Amino acid sequence: MQALRILFFLLISPFILLAQNTTVSPVKNARRQLMGLQADLIRGPYLQMATPTSMTVRWRTGVYDRSRVKYGLSSNNLSMKTDDSTLVNEHIITLTGLKPSTKYYYTVGNLADTTLQGDAENYFYTFPEKDSEQLIRIAGFGDCGNNSLNQRNVKSQVLKYLGNNYLNAWILMGDNAYSDGTDAEFQAKFFNVYKDDLLKKYPLYPVPGNHDYHDFHSASATDQNKMAYYQNFSVPTKGEAGGVPSNTESYYSYDIGNVHFLALDSYGPDNKGLHMYDEMSEQVEWVKKDLKANKSKWVVAYWHHPPYTMGSHDSDKESLLVKIRQNFIKTIEEYGVDLVLCGHSHVYERTKLIKGYYGLESEFDSKKHELSTSTALYDGSRNSAPYIKTSKDNQGTVYVVSGSAGALGGHKATYPHNAMFYSNNEVGGVVMLEVQGNRLDLKWVCSDGKIGDHFTMMKDVEKDELRVLKQDKKLTK
């Protein structure tokens, strides 16, 4: 009998020792931590399709993984999360139900709560409510992705200019990765350059350029979305961010505060094989419909190929630029677009407030085409009053070429172009657009830290204010 007791004790003693050294948690609190190798973050995170109440976060991992974004009002209290259990290496998570003009911190990771990136520097602000007149700030990068010293110097000066101020969004005016727009070039010359600062904090709204199309140059219109550019960016095709749905990634619109933006494709064909310069193209029909429906105070349009330039490209001789100037600019002017931003030419060029100019450089007539003789510098100097417009008589557009955020230099024999008030082909830079209420300012932030050019435009100014402005004085309020 004693022998049986000893045998029984020997048999059960391992289980007694196991029980004494194991803590059993309630099932509802149990979390299975994955062991071994995990996915690596190789791109991003970067912010897309911002609205007042939503934000899309994208990132890429080296292998397939599941997606989780944790977010909250404090970096120490990420109390909300959005998951996707689908195994992917291109992670796209849209956060919804957010509050307008609100700062959110976030992390990106997987469903096992492995955090790939996220600290006090991972944050974003949602857009202000539509038609809000609070200050908004947007930077425009043209021809940026060439992995040059100029590209890095320009970025450095943009960050210096911003300081502690937030950039509501940044836009790309095409040729975003040189020289063929391949995914490898996007990685090395775009995402790797901007990953530690601009991409993870500021939402991005791009358009393609001709170099972006080189990745799959022979693609039909129906295959365009297979290009690296279209694979790498998420844009609002269904009117999610304002405007009329375009139902294509090639062009779209969105609102930030009281500014309506049109992001257009000046190079690729539509489903009918037509282009921006074809009056019956799907894009032109959509632009007309979108602008007819627009109620915002300001309208800014941007695309790659400029209608006027004598920098590294010649708008008198290059057929695409000629066709856009002759056939598309009338549509823009008819519907009251205030500002047009383009790249392609690796310089900076800026007109005054003009209208009705569709010819060659030699045919520009300042008396005929300029609606204002002012410099619009709005700095107290002689003849520097802002360009003045009204919502009822919304005439005239300022055209800016800013294609030197990476690529830089070059000029044609007749540079500078006759229509340009200011031109510079020696220094790189980006445009910084600042809009508050009925005032719009554009500044050209240069790689040398200077503001190379700037102008101011105002809309619906009171009569007493107009008298002050016409004396080249600044308003006090």
> Is residue 333 domain-shared with residue 378, that is, in the same domain?
yes
pLDDT tens for 230-281 read 999 999 999 999 999 999 999 999 999 999 999 999 999 998 999 999 999 9
> Is residue 113 domain-shared with residue 249, that is, in the same domain?
no
> Is residue 148 domain-shared with residue 230, that is, in the same domain?
yes
E-only strand ranges, 174-297:
204-207, 252-256, 259-263
> Is residue 394 domain-shared with residue 282, that is, in the same domain?
yes
Q: What is the mean pLDDT of residues 90-115?
A: 97
The mean pLDDT value of the chain amounts to 92
Q: Which one is predicted more confidently, 101 or 4?
A: 101
Could you tell me if residue 362 is inside a domain? no
Q: Which two tokens stand for residue 438?
A: 């009925």
Could you tell me if residue 15 is inside a domain? no
> Is residue 319 domain-shared with residue 409, that is, in the same domain?
yes
**Could you tell me the residue range of the domain that residue 81 belongs to?**
41-125
Q: What is the mean pLDDT of residues 406-435?
A: 98
> Is residue 74 domain-shared with residue 121, that is, in the same domain?
yes
| Range scoring the smallest mean pLDDT among 26-35, 192-201, 341-350 | 26-35
Give the domain CATH number at 53: 2.60.40.10
Number of structural domains, the chain? 2
> Is residue 75 domain-shared with residue 157, that is, in the same domain?
no
pLDDT tens for 212-236 read 999 876 666 667 778 999 999 999 9
> Is residue 253 domain-shared with residue 316, that is, in the same domain?
yes
Q: Residue 433, CB half-sphere, CA atoms under 13 Å: how many?
A: 27
> Is residue 69 domain-shared with residue 189, that is, in the same domain?
no
Is pLDDT at 149 greater than 60 in this prediction?
Answer: yes
Could you tell me if residue 405 is inside a domain? yes
Could you tell me if residue 64 is inside a domain? yes
Rounded CA separation 231/177 (Å): 14
Q: What pLDDT is attached to residue 36?
A: 64
Rounded CA separation 447/149 (Å): 10
Could you tell me if residue 294 is inside a domain? yes
Is pLDDT at 10 greater than 60 in this prediction?
Answer: no
- Domain end (from 87, 105, 125): 125
Per the CB < 8 A criterion, the answer to whether 259 and 265 are in contact is: no
> Is residue 110 domain-shared with residue 172, that is, in the same domain?
no
- Domain end (from 96, 125, 154): 125
CA distances for 219 relative to 228, 270, 282, angstroms: 12, 12, 18
> Is residue 83 domain-shared with residue 223, that is, in the same domain?
no
> Is residue 73 domain-shared with residue 153, that is, in the same domain?
no
- Domain end (from 125, 160, 178): 125
Q: What pLDDT is attached to residue 35?
A: 54
Per the CB < 8 A criterion, the answer to whether 428 and 408 are in contact is: yes
- The dihedral sign for the CA sequence 79, 194, 178, 299: positive
Could you tell me if residue 150 is inside a domain? yes
Q: From the CB of residue 395, how many other CB atoms can be counted at a distance below 10 Å?
A: 12
CA distances for 335 relative to 43, 304, 329, 339, angstroms: 40, 20, 10, 12
Q: From the CB of residue 69, how many other CB atoms can be counted at a distance below 10 Å?
A: 25
What does residue 454 show for φ and ψ, rounded to 5 degrees?
-160, 155
Q: What pLDDT is attached to residue 393?
A: 85
Q: What is the mean pLDDT of residues 457-468?
A: 95
Using pLDDT thresholds of 50, 70 and 90, give the confidence band for residue 37: confident
Could you tell me if residue 5 is inside a domain? no
Per the CB < 8 A criterion, the answer to whether 411 and 425 are in contact is: yes
Could you tell me if residue 283 is inside a domain? yes
Per the CB < 8 A criterion, the answer to whether 62 and 40 are in contact is: yes
Is pLDDT at 22 greater than 60 in this prediction?
Answer: no
Predicted TM-score (pTM) of this structure: 0.92
Give the domain CATH number at 459: 3.60.21.10
Return the SS3 of 333: helix
